Amino acid sequence: MENLRAYIESGVLELYVLGDLSAEETLQVEEIASRYQEVRDEIASIEQAMEQYALNNAVEPPIDVEQKLFDKLGLNIYEEVFETADNYINEPKIVRLDGSDGKVKTLRYALVACVALLVISVAALFVTYNKLSDANTQIASLNLDKQKFAGVVSQLEYDNKGLSNIAEMAESKEWATIRMQGQPISPNSKMNVYWNKKDKSVLINHLAMDLPKADAEHEYQLWALVNGKPVSLGVFGKSDSTAKDAIIKMQSIQEAQAFAVTLEPMGGSVNPTMEKLTVMGGV
């Protein structure tokens, strides 16, 4: 059985000894115990520990508790019995309950054992609860690590796809790479545009894009400069983990002398906002 030690330390054996398991759970423990000596030894150890605990913590109950118990049972305590034959014949025979017959002593131990078992049950449940809490914490941590790992794998797949596409375009003479540099509003920005000389398609590369993050009310718009006039090629989001593809296809353009990107309101603009010109590059 895998994780036998974890099963033994789970607290289920303590609950079994205390009789706090369901019939089905009890049968399961007994079936496992029949197969593993370690489990049988642990059960015996728990039983011995509980018995020793009860003996070590045995206390004498107050006299009034004892009297109330006997009154509840409909019994009376007498200090002596009738010794004469007449009394023996004419009166009910009363046997001292606090004498050598051990009944009182047995009841006392039974009460002490019940209290001890209750204390042990509470302790076992507390230990089990703490272990379950720790287990839940570990599971939550593992789930978080799994999500992080999945995110890393997804990002690696995303990057690999983009790099493969870029490599294929770099080897092809049909594609022209336009490297756009940052403008005064954002000098450190950069971005690449790929223009197919044959079918006139236009692609942008998220992996080679370094633009400031746009707010929720704005997005970037790509423009082609054709004979001195700007032509919109579509809008796109900033290069980040939310991008669905490394390479994004924009609108095709038959000819262009330059490409540029501006920051525009969501949905794009009819004409570029020149004070928001972010990057630009000539063909």
pLDDT, tens digit (0-9, with 9 covering 90-100), for 206-235? 777 889 988 889 999 999 999 999 999 999
The Cα-based distances of 122 to 54, 102, 116, 128, 188 in angstroms read 15, 30, 10, 10, 66
Q: Which of 2-11, 111-120, 156-165 has the weakest average pLDDT?
A: 156-165
**What 3-state DSSP class applies to 126?**
helix
H/E run at residue 204: strand 202-205
List pLDDT tens digits, range 31-70.
Answer: 999 999 999 999 999 988 888 887 777 666 666 655 665 5
Report pLDDT for 163. Answer: 46
**DSSP letter (8 states) at residue 213:** P
Nearest to 240, CA basis, from 228, 248, 232? 248
Report pLDDT for 104. Answer: 53
Give dist(CA 11, CA 130) in Å, integer: 10
CA 224 to chain CA centroid, nearest Å: 50
Give dist(CA 55, CA 53) in Å, integer: 5
Domain boundaries, the chain: 4-144, 172-282
Nearest to 203, CA basis, from 181, 182, 176? 176
Query: Where does the pLDDT of residue 103 fall: very low under 50, low under 70, confident under 90, or very high at 90 and above?
Result: low
List pLDDT tens digits, range 233-281.
Answer: 999 875 444 455 668 889 999 999 999 999 999 999 999 999 999 999 9
Residue type (1 letter), 90: N
Q: Which of 166-180, 183-197, 203-217 has the weakest average pLDDT?
A: 166-180
- Cα angle 247-261-216, degrees, rounded to a multiple of 5: 85
Give dist(CA 280, CA 245) in Å, integer: 22
User: What sign has the CA pseudo-torsion 35, 38, 39, 44?
Assistant: positive
Tell me if 139 sits within 8 A of 132, measured CB to CB: no
153's tokens:
């794998």
Beta carbons within 8 Å of 127's beta carbon, 6+ residues apart: 11, 14
- Cα angle 237-239-244, degrees, rounded to a multiple of 5: 75
Q: Which of 6-10, 199-203, 237-241, 261-265 has the weakest average pLDDT?
A: 237-241
The b/e string for 79-88 (b: 16+ C-beta within 10 A; e otherwise) is: eeeeeeeeee
List pLDDT tens digits, range 146-158.
Answer: 666 555 554 445 4
Report pLDDT for 170. Answer: 53
